[in-house]
């Protein structure tokens, strides 16, 4: 248990604890319609701000795999994409709950929501593609190239297209961003630590997935799963 090796996990946990405490206890701006739900900014938006760096790390490992063909880079690209998808599911589900109480519908016709749904399908296809190829070299290369496409499409669908049309989300279409009028400095002091904390926590999850993945390459994967679960 060397501190030099595990400090970033502790930092991530501490930042998340701080954001949970400050996110519920600190003062927030009194805004109509949003009311107390403005606090969801600390939790719901953090999921998306975690997913994007995890997907970026995944693409970097995919590019590395294309240049060095190492099985480790391929496995890392996969586990980071899996963890990113996990955070995007959390982001979507929490966003649906928030949308119900502020925009009046679980899935309002919003370009950002639709873009997110498309993005999740694109990443779903990434895992189907991986599952359908048996040859590890072929699987690594083809899925690495697909992953680059998937990342670019994600940026287009959730970062660019919603900004070009009308959207309910702040910072998109005609709507001003949270930053312009209601993400005051008190909220920033909670939101940014929350994002950093969740990114570190996401890297930790990806690391554990990676170790399980590497172990199950040599063993029957069912044995490993049973050993971890008991």
Residues in contact with other proteins by CB under 8 A are 13, 16-17, 20-21, 24-25, 30-32, 35-36, 204-205, 208, 211-212, 215, 218-219, 224, 227-228
Q: Does the CA dihedral 37-44-99-89 come out positive or negative?
A: negative
The beta strand positions in 61-199, using DSSP E, are: none
What is the Cα–Cα distance from 122 to 115, expressed in whole angstroms?
Answer: 10
Residue 193 CB neighbours (<10 A): 21
Residue (43 or 151) nearer to other proteins, CB = 43
Nearest Cα to 205, choosing from 71, 85, 125?
Answer: 85
Residue (28 or 150) nearer to other proteins, CB = 28
Residue (34 or 60) nearer to other proteins, CB = 34
CB of 144 to other proteins, least distance (A): 26
CB of 20 to other proteins, least distance (A): 5
Q: How many angstroms separate the first and last alpha carbons of the chain?
A: 23
Residue (24 or 117) nearer to other proteins, CB = 24
Residue (26 or 69) nearer to other proteins, CB = 26
Residue (13 or 118) nearer to other proteins, CB = 13
CB of 37 to other proteins, least distance (A): 10
DSSP secondary structure string for all residues of 4-35: HHHHHHHHHHHHHHHHHHHHHHS-----TTTG
Nearest Cα to 81, choosing from 99, 63, 56?
Answer: 56
CB of 132 to other proteins, least distance (A): 28
Question: ∠162-163-164 over CA atoms, to 5°?
Answer: 90
Question: ∠68-72-73 over CA atoms, to 5°?
Answer: 55
CB of 13 to other proteins, least distance (A): 6
CB of 229 to other proteins, least distance (A): 9
């Amino acid at each position: 248990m060397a501190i030099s090796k595990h400090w970033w996990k502790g930092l991530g946990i501490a930042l998340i604890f701080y954001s949970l405490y400050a996110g519920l206890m600190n003062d927030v701006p009194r805004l109509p319609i949003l009311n107390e739900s403005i606090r969801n900014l600390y939790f719901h938006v953090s999921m998306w701000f975690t997913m994007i760096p995890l997907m970026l790390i995944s693409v970097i490992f995919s590019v590395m795999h294309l240049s060095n063909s190492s099985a480790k880079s391929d496995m890392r690209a996969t586990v980071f994409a899996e963890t990113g998808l996990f955070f995007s599911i959390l982001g979507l589900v929490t966003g649906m709950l928030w949308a119900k109480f502020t925009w009046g519908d679980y899935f309002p016709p919003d370009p950002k929501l639709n873009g997110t749904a498309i993005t999740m399908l694109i990443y779903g296809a990434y895992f189907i593609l991986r599952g359908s190829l048996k040859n590890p070299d072929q699987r690594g290369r083809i899925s690495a190239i697909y992953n680059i496409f998937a990342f670019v499409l994600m940026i287009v669908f959730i970062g660019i297209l919603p900004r070009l049309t009308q959207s309910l989300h702040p910072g998109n279409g005609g709507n001003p961003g949270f930053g312009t009028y209601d993400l005051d400095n008190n909220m920033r002091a909670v939101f940014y630590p929350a994002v950093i904390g969740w990114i570190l926590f996401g890297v930790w999850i990806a690391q554990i997935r990676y170790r399980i993945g590497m172990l199950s390459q040599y063993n029957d994967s069912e044995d490993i799963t049973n050993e971890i679960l008991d």
